[in-house]
Amino acid sequence: MKPPAPTSAQHTPASLLLAPSRKTTMRWLIPFLLVFLFMATLIWLPRQAQQMEASERLEQLIADSLWVEQAIRFQLSRDDESMRIIGREIINSHLRQDHFRSRLNALLRNNREFYRVTWFGADGKPIASTDDFPITRDDLSEPSRMTGERSRQLRRPLYSPPAVPPGIAEPSLMDYHVPLFRDNHYIGSLVASYAVARILNEMVPWWFAQDNEISLTDTDDNVVARRTSGGPGLNVYTHRRELELPGLTLVLHTNSTKSAPKLLPNLLVGSVMVLSLGLLWSLWALWRDINRRTKAEGALLNEASFRAAMENSLVTGMRARDLEGRITYVNPAFCKMVGIPAEELVGKIPPMPYWAPEAMDEYQERFSNVLAGRATPQYETIFQRIDGERFPVLIFESPLVDQHGKQTGWMGSILDISERKRAEDLNRTQEEKLQAGARLASMGEIASTLAHELNQPLAAISSFTTGALNMMQQGSADPRALQPALEKIHAQAQRAGHVIRSVHQFVKKREPARQRLQVRQLIDNVAPLVELQAQQFFVVLQISVQANLPPVLGDQVLLEQVILNLTRNGIQAMAGVPSARRILRIVAELDRGPGTSESVLVSVIDQGHGIAEDVAARLFSPFFSTKAEGMGMGLNICRTTIEFHGGTLTYTDNPAGGTIFRFSLPAQGGTY
């Protein structure tokens, strides 16, 4: 008889018997490990947070200090440019002694860091000053006089070391010497005196001064100015930055009034963070043990479903090709785009069924570049659908790299840009309509003046005709006596006809047509319309066109519209100025750019009220206008028109008051 088979209890390994005790040990060990981790983190994390906060504060102080330094440099550069402009006016005899103070008053009002500005002659005597009692060179500090002599020798502006001049209550002044030379002869100098304390008060923002003590020192750490709006610095966070100026080096010191970060708030934050992380870890471990099997079973199915849904929802066509140009993958959006199923595209090599026959050479060239590893990252081309319909596409091509970093092919994203092309065509059409509307609006503004202008030749024609009829009725209608009257009638009729033809040619709608044009002819064509508006505002029109200007390539009506819009703006800008200043100039000249490029530069110069700074930023924006009845499209259309012709439209302030608008057009070679 066989022995009984062993039971499962008899064959249970010893390790299985010890398993419950191991589980119990792990259950006690994990809490102890968590407590140890909590205590270690409680000690380390707050101190780390304190150090990070201190580092962030120091980095913020350095960044703000650099910003303040750049602000001081920028303002001093603006002041330097202002002094150079005034110096050039003196050299060119555009600024006289009696106008010096009025010319400088606005500058000193807007730049309170200036203490005074003095104009010295070649003999060292003051010619003019912004002070009521001009100073002499002896009233300057010794360092300032030495800097002035050095500036004269070097022939360039220099700053003098800050010092307290004799007899001045101001703590410290820094003089900026600008030597003046005319034809290599020294004719004097400009001395702009800065109150060093005002540099900190005017150029350092209040918010920065509230949190920091700012001081300026020389290279020997002698303090020349200090600002302590928020109290003295605590020497916890400091920064030192050298301020290099022509002939002078100052040091900008910043000392924060903030103290070091406190440990207690960081300790509380660290405790909360550690406790929260421990709780989240415990919940995550419990949830992981319960749901691990369920997630493992559904992860693959969810991933596959998500990827399939993502591919099917894309509206961008995706196409993958190997290094030999063979299609390895297409998504449903690409198949729908070309009307060919995926099974007919995958594995296909060029020529592709979606290539248009007329662009076959372009496709072959791009395919050769792909095989050579030189795929174009982005380009536009034409595809055809299965029914033969052509449509434009935008293709983005990039290398396809596997998980080891090795390129296995090319991945392309294809966008159907048919709607974008239609939108561009519609926008171009609307732009043309807007330009035509602008021309009609322009004519509406001169309608009343046009009627007055036509009344004059018509009244003259009526008067001469009545006189001729009276002579005929009196029996003295000698042809030789009637000839002067008839010639005057003919001249007045020609004048009225010329005005009517100018208006008709300007407002009629037609397609843009580029042709070789002479700028003189463009200006002569719009001159009658400009004169009509000028007469209404009592403005004198002056036209200066350089002889033998080369022709330009452009649309005559569009360019005439630009000239008329700019002149109309200039005339209206002078409506409120004295009559003696109402002069509008149109200047055309040749502008030689870098290299051999040439362009014809047309300037429209008025002496009106100028353009304010807040208006200048939006001057060319659509629908922005300073006129109550304006549409805000005039200057925007002008700039678009000039850029359409390959040129640029800019503006600058007129030194004599007003504004100068300039537009350039590329010059064409040959003769017209």
- With bands split at pLDDT 50, 70 and 90, how would you rate the model's confidence at 624? very low
**Are 520 and 661 members of one domain?**
yes
Q: Are residues 197 and 142 in the same domain?
A: yes
Q: Is residue 596 part of a domain?
A: yes
475, 510, 545 - which closes a domain? 510
Q: Pick the closest to residue 600 from 636, 656, 541, 553 (CA basis).
A: 553
In a domain, 38, yes or no: no
**Which structural domain, as residue segments, surrounds residue 340?**
313-416
% of the chain residues with pLDDT over 70: 76
Q: What pLDDT shows up at residue 595?
A: 62
Residues 458 and 518 in one domain: no
H helices present in 374-478, as ranges: 418-445, 447-473
Token pair recorded at residue 96:
């006289």
Residue 651 belongs to some domain of the structure: yes
pLDDT of residue 12: 41
214-218, 451-455, 625-629, range with the lowest pLDDT: 625-629
Distance CA 321, CA 284 (A): 43
* Percent helix / strand / coil, the chain, rounded to 5: 50, 20, 30
Q: Please indicate, yes or no, whether residues 471 and 553 belong to a single structural domain of this protein.
A: no
> Do 546 and 624 lie in a common domain?
yes
Helix (H) or strand (E) holding 33: helix 14-91
pLDDT score of 447: 55
Residues 506 and 539 placed together within one structural domain of the fold: no
Q: Is residue 275 part of a domain?
A: no
- 637: part of which helix (H) or strand (E)? helix 634-644
pLDDT in tens, 551-592: 999 888 788 888 988 998 899 888 888 888 899 999 999 988
Q: How far is CA 606 from CA 449, 530, 600, in A?
A: 21, 13, 20
pLDDT reading at 601 higher than 90: yes
Looking at the fold, whether 506 and 575 belong to one and the same domain comes out as no
Cα–Cα distance for residue pair 343/341, rounded to 1 Å: 6
Query: Is 94 part of a structural domain of the chain?
Result: yes
Q: Tell me: do 156 and 224 sit in the same domain.
A: yes
Query: Is 206 a domain residue?
Result: yes
- Does 327 lie in the same domain as 212? no
Q: Do residues 462 and 399 both lie within one domain? A: no
Same domain as 665, residue 593:
yes
The domain that holds 575 is classified in CATH as 3.30.565.10
Residue 95 in domain: yes
Domain final residue, candidates 211, 239, 256: 256
Number of domains making up the chain: 4
With a CB cutoff of 8 Å and minimum separation 6, the contacts of 111 are 75, 78, 79, 82, 202
Average pLDDT, the chain: 79
What is the spatial distance between Cα 318 and Cα 150, in angstroms, rounded to a whole number?
71
More confident residue, 455 or 54: 54
Predicted structure pTM score: 0.38
Q: Is residue 266 part of a domain?
A: no
**Whether residue 516 sits in one domain with residue 506:** no
Task: Say if residues 589 and 601 touch (Cβ distance below 8 Å).
Answer: yes
Q: How far apart are CA 21 and CA 37, in angstroms?
A: 24
Which of the listed ranges 2-6, 19-23, 408-412, 621-625 does the model predict with the highest average pLDDT? 408-412
| Cα angle 544, 550, 555; round to 5 | 90
What is the CATH classification number for the domain harbouring 139?
Answer: 3.30.450.20
Radius of gyration of the CA atoms of the chain, in A: 41
Q: What percent of the chain has pLDDT over 90?
A: 14
- The answer to whether residues 214 and 67 touch, using CB atoms and an 8 Å cutoff, is no
Q: What is the predicted pLDDT for the residue at 262? A: 64
Burial class (CB in 10 A: 0-12, 13-18, 19+), 278: middle
Residue where one domain finishes, among candidates 480, 510, 540: 510
